[in-house]
Amino acid sequence: MKLQKIILIVLALVLAGVGSSSAWAHGSRARVGVVIGGPLWWGGWGYPPPYYGPPQVVVVPPPQPTVYIEQAQPAAPAGQQYWHYCPSAKGYYPYVRECPEAWQKVLPQPEN
């Protein structure tokens, strides 16, 4: 019985000393273990270094060449298209290239 009281007192003192010590509040910093293959050290608190992936590649296609669409000139209305007649040569342009007098504008006549 005496032995049981001594063990209980020693156990109570040990537990009281461990609980009141601030060094034991966060646990031990020393680790003991078995390592297969060799020791690894990452520094700090035992976390591995952060992993950064490869940079993201952004491909921008070259701009398309500018396309220009040429529009045809609007045709003159039928009432404004004239033939040019030379009275002295008695002929029409382009069959008569030169006229000594002024060209006369003549409305085209349909053939009969």
Q: 90: which 2 tokens?
A: 């008695």
Element (H, E) at 2: helix 2-20
pLDDT of res. 57: 92
Per-position pLDDT tens, the chain of length 112: 788 888 888 877 777 665 555 555 555 566 666 666 655 555 556 677 788 889 999 999 999 999 998 887 766 555 568 889 999 999 999 899 999 999 999 888 777 6
Q: Note if the pTM is more than 0.95.
A: no
Q: Distance (Å, rounded) from C-alpha 103 to C-alpha 101? A: 7
Q: 107: which 2 tokens?
A: 């409305």
Q: 12: which 2 tokens?
A: 């109570």
pLDDT of res. 49: 74
Longest dimension (CA), the chain: 158
CB 42 within 8 A of CB 49: yes
Q: Among residues 16, 17, 42, 46, which one has the least CA distance to residue 29?
A: 46
Element (H, E) at 104: strand 104-106
For residue 23, give the 3-state DSSP assignment.
Answer: helix
